[in-house]
Amino acid sequence: MKIGFIGLGNMGAPMAKNLAAAGHDVTGFDVAGTTAEGCTVAASGPEAAAGADAVITMLPNGDILRAVAAELIPAMAPGAVLIDCSTVDVESARAVADQAADAGLLFVDAPVSGGIGGAAGGTLTFMAGGSDDAFAKAVPLFDIMGQKAVHCGDAGAGQAAKICNNMILGITMIGTCEAFALADKLGLDRQKMFDVVSTSSGYSWTMNAYCPAPGVGPTSPADNDYKPGFAAELMLKDLRLSQQAAEAADAATPLGAHATAFYDAFVSGDGKGMDFSAVLPLLAKMTRKDM
């Protein structure tokens, strides 16, 4: 396939590289001038999109998606598919889907889970929203860039799934870190804590696969001075999106709201540039009066 790829950052560049390595003709563009191995460089987004069978975007937020889509859609050939892998608000995804449909294009919102490592290794999970035809056209590309793609429903459903998933992730990470901080103060060895919780009812992804305690469980960013696998700023972005969606849907998410406020304070303090699991050393230093 001839593919245009817009947004060659930490996630987009390895995704585009994997598509090119699989034999696809990939033309990429990024406003920062970054490139991807094996890809032709375009001078603009519309140039990368012209004549493409599929155009993939990986962008920072919904406002940028709307602006970029307004440039790309007129340049795309009818019947092509626009696949947005950004994590944005549901309303922006649906608005771009409507614009694409009006232009005779297919559209899939397909945010990802798996981080930079998953992008590089081609093991991402895609949460997709769109028509059956649009999803079917995108699946062969998902199969190259990832290990799983779930068709969650109509346009916007992929973003809804990502937002709900990451709200759980943020809440669970705070709870996991609070438990380790409490265990420390109770004199419980962190390894013993892990051995119990990881095989008991406290089992979770944040404990078992991404443990925030250095030297405990599988290797995680905690073992690399909390350098980001998933940056705290990105967690805050996703939590804010969850609360925006909750407000629009009139949904009660008290723990989601608490997690958003917690990560807001964390990123405003020492957490900027750190992994989202770096709340453990912060909590380990806090006392009840700091709450």
Determine what percent of the chain is predicted with pLDDT higher than 90. Answer: 98
What sign does the CA torsion over 239, 242, 243, 244 have?
positive
Which pLDDT does position 181 carry in this prediction?
A: 97
* Tens-digit pLDDT profile for residues 8-34: 999 999 999 999 999 999 999 999 999
- Residue 85 amino acid letter: C
Question: Could you give the 3-state DSSP secondary structure of residue 42?
Answer: coil
Q: pTM of the entire structure?
A: 0.91
DSSP 122: T
Is 90 exceeded by the pLDDT of residue 263? yes
Which pLDDT does position 3 carry in this prediction?
A: 98
Question: Could you give the 3-state DSSP secondary structure of residue 265?
Answer: helix
What mean pLDDT is predicted for residues 95-116? 96
- Return the CA Rg of the chain: 20
Which pLDDT does position 115 carry in this prediction?
A: 86
Domains, the chain: 2-154 (3.40.50.720), 160-285 (1.10.1040.10)
Given 17, 162, 192, 272, which residue is catalytic?
A: 162
**162 is an active site residue:** yes
To 10 degrees, what angle do helices 232-249 and 90-102 make?
A: 80
What mean pLDDT is predicted for residues 70-99? 97
* Tens-digit pLDDT profile for residues 230-256: 999 999 999 999 999 999 999 999 999
The mean pLDDT of the chain is 97
How many whole angstroms separate alpha carbon 136 and alpha carbon 129? 11
Name the band, by pLDDT with cuts 50, 70 and 90, for residue 158: very high
Cα–Cα distances (Å) from 84 to 159, 171, 199, 202, 231, in that order, read 10, 26, 38, 35, 21
Residue 51, Ramachandran bin (φ over 0: left; ψ between -120 and 50: alpha; else beta): left
What mean pLDDT is predicted for residues 104-126? 95
How many whole angstroms separate alpha carbon 22 and alpha carbon 37? 12
Contact 107, 101 (CB under 8 A): yes
How many whole angstroms separate alpha carbon 276 and alpha carbon 274? 6
